[in-house]
Structure 1
Amino acid sequence: MATFFNEFFGVSADDVDEYGAFNVSLINDLPLFIDPFLLFNSKNSDYEQLHEDILKYIIFLREEVAAGRVNDDLINAWFRFPEVKQNWLGFSMVGNSGSGLGSKFAVALRSNLQTVFANFGSEQVTKGSHLEKVCLVSEGVGRDNISDFTLNLILDFICRYTQEFAIQHIAPELRKKVWIQKAKFNYETKSWQRLQYELPFIDGDYVLLTPKDILTRDDNWINKGDMVHQFEEIPVAIPDNQLRGQVFAYFDSVLAKPLDRKPSAEEHAEAVIKTYLKFPQLVDWYIKYKEDNGDKARDISLEKVALTKFMFEQQVKDIQAQLGAETDFYKVTGSTYEETHQRLAFFKSVIEDKGGHRIFWHGTECIQRESDLQILCKFIWYGTPSDASAEVNDGRGPVDFKISRGAFDKTLIEMKLAKNTKLKQNLEKQLPIYLSASEAKKGIKVIIYFSASEEAKVNAILKEMGIEGHKDIVLIDARNDNKPSGSKA
């Protein structure tokens, strides 16, 4: 059952790994992102050139904006980009489709070119210029936007990188010459050119590989949350005493601290961002701090990418093999409700009795995010004869999975971590709403716990609600230490 790039294209995982690429899933996006700082801070000459190319394009945009030559048509041509979904990385919980870089990003970038990017390319404080500035003071511009924008600006390199691997390792019948519309920018014609590449091709689309050493798991090294958190320290580093005083005076006036309470975290963060906008040179001082600690970025990203590979590739492959070899997980029949209960029973048995709990652990650290849990379960569920759709929104918010066969046989599944602070509220309200919105007749809640205290918490909530032992509440014991010898099902 093919799940990952190497399996679909008949190459070994070692070949992909030794080439330096991340072995993506072709079932669902994985939560990894391109961090442009890793290009800037690299000693790889190709990466250094890519970063210079990014700066050249931003400077071009800034000059065109400053000259008043940017109209709506050029906004679409120069500032907006389609999502490059073929790299199979990002936030998508359903396949690999995302929204791309639309008008919100274009507006933020154009605005910042006249403020925080005003000295772009000629900074006095930092060692270089950084694309990430666009996400530091703009609402709704996050790591996925920065990653998507970076990918679009280095797309020619990514295509050539993938093409080289494909020609060396992938059979001709699994490759195809394809045209990429916005592959490289031509500064003479001031337009994006389309170029042709021979790429891995399957199920009607091409696939792109991305080098592991430009990827990160969480926030970019230069990111808004960190900049807000570091605000108290940044002005102190400024040698200009007068400017430093102005910064703190302005911040205090914007915060307008209420007399009866301490400002909320949101109010504090809003005041910080307004201060950065008032004194954009502060952004450069923050970036200088990140540059000075840049070597940590590489080490942290390598560790997080390795963890992602371990969790979403090796662990998934191991548990798929175990489920296939030791149970009838991939052979169950009946209605979707019966199928779901059978699969969950097999899954619970493997987790609790056969060492499968390791899928949720890396050393002494257990899975922390429900989004990661849902991706893992999406991979494991892959292979059902039913339509297993993740994060389906039928009008009242998304449900983790909808298992369906036609319009009248539907079963909904909610996957939750026991530590979720809103677990009781979710049990009381969320699933019944989903059942009504989807016109599904059955719904199952799966709750996974990692400690005795989490188990006690869940049981107390279920007992209080009068649903302890309900067949549609499936508890899975994924504890790592003192593992019970038998299933508690």
Structure 2
Amino acid sequence: MSKFKLLFSEYFEIKESNLADYGALNICLSSDLPLFIDPFLLFASEKAEYKELHKHVVGHLLLLKEYAIENNGKDVDLRLFRFPEIKQNWLGLAQYGNGGKGLGLRFAKGAIQAFNGFYNSFGEEKITDETHIEKLTLLNAGVGKDFISDFTTNLIFEYLLEYTEAFALKYLKDAQVKEFSIRCRFDKATKTWQPRKFKLPHFFREKNGDFILLTPLDILTVDDAIINNNDFYNNFNTVTRSIGNDSLRSAINDHFRSHLPKKPKKKDKIHAFIKTVEQYPDLVDLYIRIKEDSKNTASEVTSEKIEEIREQLIDSLTPLCNLLNDKSPFYSVNPNSYDEALKRANYLKDVIENNDGYRIFYDGTKPIAKEDTIQRIFRLTWYASPYDVNSEVNNGRGPADYKVSFGSGDSTIVEFKLAKSSSLERNLENQTDIYKAASKSSNDISVVLCYTDSDIRKVNRVLKKIGKEGHENIVIIDARRKASASKV
């Protein structure tokens, strides 16, 4: 058993197979994983309980529609449209910790306006088999992916609590389980959320530790929801071709072309797309119908993406922490922000280059190409340290990967980049300076990961061009695959 208690299975000292057999995700308890619940997977599932959950989610949104259209949207109780992010499932877009904003005033106003406008026929569909809440994200700039995630999680919260409680009572020790009273059931009569008591896993190693929520793997997805605005736009031709009425199809295509200039750019095509859908709103339901018809393949695609996240992120986390602990003083640096961050970056460099740490950054023989995945691995590794390191700090000029600080007068910005990035030169020359000014940080460090010989040459060329060769605060990590010792 690893000394690092980052994953649920490690923290509670149970077998990973217990979670796998139960069908739950082995979450990381130090930072959100980039996954979220997709209501379409509830709809597409063969499980009766999931189908009921989908109807429940849609039913509550239809209830909100009733509230929204009373008096043409005037004097609506906005509190009914507010849904907090349920952070205890450790899923979502937050790359530091598990905090999030949830659905607040912006969503409330956007939903009320939508129900009294373009989406006034929501729930009265005749083309699709069922109503889908994702429909509100198509053409509605104020309602997006966060809405799908937070709204769905809130509405199936009670089910997730029951699901987690059943696992806890079966696999965990008494000391690892605690009773919590949680508001999870909506009372239509009083228009309030009512509490229920559950026995749940909690951070038992900490004083007054919060509860932890498990989520079934087969309702999770990565990136965009299956029904989403970008996919609708990209498959617009497929949607129009599905129209059996030749005259109508021709009229729609003519309307689309009438909004295009002679040499249209992508933004012009998007504008024409929006105008066409506004004129012919049934196109939304035709698109969703195509998704419904291919629902059997939806779960296969998402499960492949989740497996990729698991292999690249979750499975690599603990081995990298162990290597850093065994092969370097990575977790015992004295508390000075710049020295700490620089030493840790160099320890990381040494472990990757000289102690087979590079293997963590390969999926078989293929390097992990996504910068976001690389950064998450680094972030989660740092969370195993005893020091406070804030990740994805955004002070108005965009998010920096890290801000390491000890009090208001001692802080350092740390940025991780792939050498192959097209913006590498600009990043190394300007980005950390911008973050430093916004965060009032006096120091900065850039860490660049190289996979190939050409990556190494590119970095050296860029550093020479911008006059930063040999700067100690630019750490180049050679993650090229190494020959075995017997071949050297």
Q: Same fold (TM over 0.5)?
A: yes
Contact 2:448 2:477 in 1 (8 A): yes
5+ residue gaps, structure 1, are none
Aligned 1:70-469 pairs, distance under 5 A:
72=75, 74-77=77-80, 79-115=81-117, 117-181=119-183, 183-202=184-203, 203=206, 204-255=209-260, 257=261, 259=262, 262-333=263-334, 335-469=336-470
SS at match of 1:329: coil
> Counterpart amino acid of 2:448?
I
Q: What amino acid maps onto 1:367 in structure 2?
A: I
Residue 3 of structure 1 aligns with an amino acid whose one-letter code is L
Q: CA deviation at 1:180?
A: 2.0
Give the deviation of 1:106 after TM superposition. Answer: 2.1
The answer (yes or no) to whether the contact 2:232–2:287 under 8 Å persists in 1 is yes
1:114 & 1:393 partners in 2: Cα distance?
Answer: 35
Instruction: Provide the secondary structure at the position in 2 that maps to 1:283.
Output: helix
Rounded to whole Å, the distance in 2 between the matches of 1:115 and 1:69 is: 10
Residues 112-155 of structure 1: per-residue CA shift (max 9 Å, x gap) = 33455444444222222211111111114332321111101111
Segment of structure 1 superposing worse, 276-285 or 439-448: 439-448
Q: CA deviation at 1:340?
A: 2.3
Please say if residues 401 and 414 of structure 2, whose CA atoms lie closer than 8 Å, have aligned partners that are also in contact. Answer: yes
CA shift at 1:448, angstroms? 0.9
Q: Secondary structure in 2 aligned to 1:457?
A: helix
- The one-letter code matched in structure 1 to 2:19 is V
Contact 2:400 2:413 in 1 (8 A): yes
- How far is 1:469 from its partner? 2.5
Preserved contact between residue 312 and residue 373 of structure 2 (Cα < 8 Å): no
Q: Deviations over 1:63-116 (max 9, x none)?
A: 343443865453322x22111111110011221111101122223323333455
The aligned counterpart of 1:22 is: 25
Structure 1 residues 107 and 155: alpha-carbon distance in aligned structure 2, compared to 1, 3 A threshold = same
TM-score (norm 1): 0.91
Q: Distance in 2 between matches of 1:155 and 1:54?
A: 11
Amino acid aligned to 1:147: S
Q: What is the Cα deviation at residue 385 of structure 1? A: 4.0
Q: Write the distance in 2 (CA, Å) between the matches of 1:425 and 1:457.
A: 13
In 1: Cα distance, 2:92 partner to 2:174 partner: 29
- TM-score (ref. length: structure 2): 0.91
**C-alpha contact (below 8 Å) 1:35/1:214 kept by paired residues:** yes
Equivalent residue letter for 2:376: I
RMSD: 2.3
Corresponding residue to 1:50 among 49, 53, 58: 53
Specify which of 32, 37, 41 is matched with residue 38 of structure 1: 41
Question: Alpha-carbon deviation of 1:439?
Answer: 4.0
What is the identity, as a one-letter code, of the residue corresponding to 1:51? H
Equivalent residues of 2:145, 2:224 under 8 A apart: yes
Q: Percent identity?
A: 39
Deviant stretches of 4+, over 6 Å: none
Aligned length, in residue pairs: 479
Flag the 1:164–1:268 CA change in 2: closer, same or farther, 3 A. Answer: same
Q: Is the 8 A contact 2:69 2:112 kept in 1?
A: no
Cα distance, 1:150–1:265 mapped onto 2, change above 3 Å: same
Q: Is the 8 A contact 2:168 2:177 kept in 1?
A: yes
**Counterpart residue type for residue 34 of structure 2:** P
The whole-number CA distance in structure 2 between the counterparts of 1:414 and 1:402 is 9
The structure-2 alpha-carbon separation of the partners of 1:305 and 1:72, relative to structure 1 and needing over 3 Å to count, comes to farther
